[in-house]
Structure 1
């Protein structure tokens, strides 16, 4: 916290002296800071959030309240010394399939996206982006991303930098049957970005069910996965949390698991360490909360290199070839 406060004071002093914007002054000062040269010293403090579920995009007050809660948690994360805060899928709004259905609410049909208060969402996102700049905080949050009609929108994660810039966007690829049939366009590619030398990857929705997604990011040398889901109910919560721990252990990476507050009574949001244990978890009482942990990267650890070697055919020369006529398979 002291380091962040001193940095902000230097930025404001430069801006006052040169007449630059806060963003320009921050960029110049960051470029002048000494760069880390010890690859073993990479670490970053991150926060994971579980938030209130807002699922009606027609509700202007709900969209405003959602934005307000996100920004309140950003300030809390900043005060806790976090450099990045991670939010659930649909943190701004996670549209309910029955509310959106043009044939609903009883029947599920194609979503009517004209029901969404897009202008209000844009205003809230712009306000959130400016706060990220003011706090010098990275924020990764779930939102619907509008495409040009008649294309359906993407279900996305926005990555906002500490300069208040939208640096990239991840679009959910492995959509559920309802999502791909009636609601969203699937994404096309993995997305990575770096903060303080730590590489992050993004996954969304039900993608924790697909180990190939996490193995793909392992091959991209991701240090920490940011997985966001809705957590509208507790039905699948235990499986999602168990999978997050399993991917952390099998890929030897950190996994931040963020969902909405209702599921926290079964599986609260949390940050999983590479050993498959929870380094930090949010409250398990169904209320919004935040958890913070320091992600530490040890590039000298042998787990990931050895697993890559093991998958590369190292065992083939050592295999004993049984004679198919032998009876040894059926005897001790």
Structure 2
């Protein structure tokens, strides 16, 4: 089977290998199209990998959307695996429909973090902050909205802001930096404009973190981490995928209320529950509409990386990566039944 994996720019090496390894292991010839925003490392690494295989088994091609369209429509391509945004995925699906080419999509998320009233804030707040702001928020399954019970809201907000304010924002080659820039101008502009619209609401937006080398601030797509207090469930910053360093904190009173808000979205990638009672979390997780739920964490554990199928429902994707389930995405099953004479 010939497959075409399309890759995003936020974690190009990891996401490349999540597709290349199972596709090759399943016996496929593959063509990789890196993101134009992050092509160098992927191309250099795959050149070395390709030398280990027969010529033509692993190829890399560069270009914009027209190149991707040509690949999807090519009659030799039997499977398209794409990680990225929903708009492009819908275009791929339309093109793939012409030849009934199979598709696998790992798309965006609006992952909620639900803090329960028995959570130990000293323990969970730093973990939640890390789950929000890794790669400056440019992660598909990063926490995108936080729901906190009214009884803990003030304490949670104060502790969360205290942790976030310690981030050191600067160039990645500065050893002091713990927080980097946005990847590209379009995403930088989107998050800035979203923040401006938040300021037009009754919610309060605060910018935190310490700026390193302020004289170079305008030489990159730098943004300070932003926290939105008193966000409402219907606010745009809560319902969209920010994909940047901007996080709303929503107050709730009852668990059935927060479950309704959590599920009232077109996304369904990841989610997390933060509590001192794992059994309570397990029961609550069954009510969440998502492909994955993490308990007291914002990503897979060591065992989870190996065994947990990664992917979403609704507009967050089709199919799964990782685990034996992910390998099956690149397999065409064939059945042979030999009838023996009586």
TM range (shorter): 0.3 to 0.5
TM-score by length of 2: 0.33
TM-score, structure 1 length as denominator? 0.34
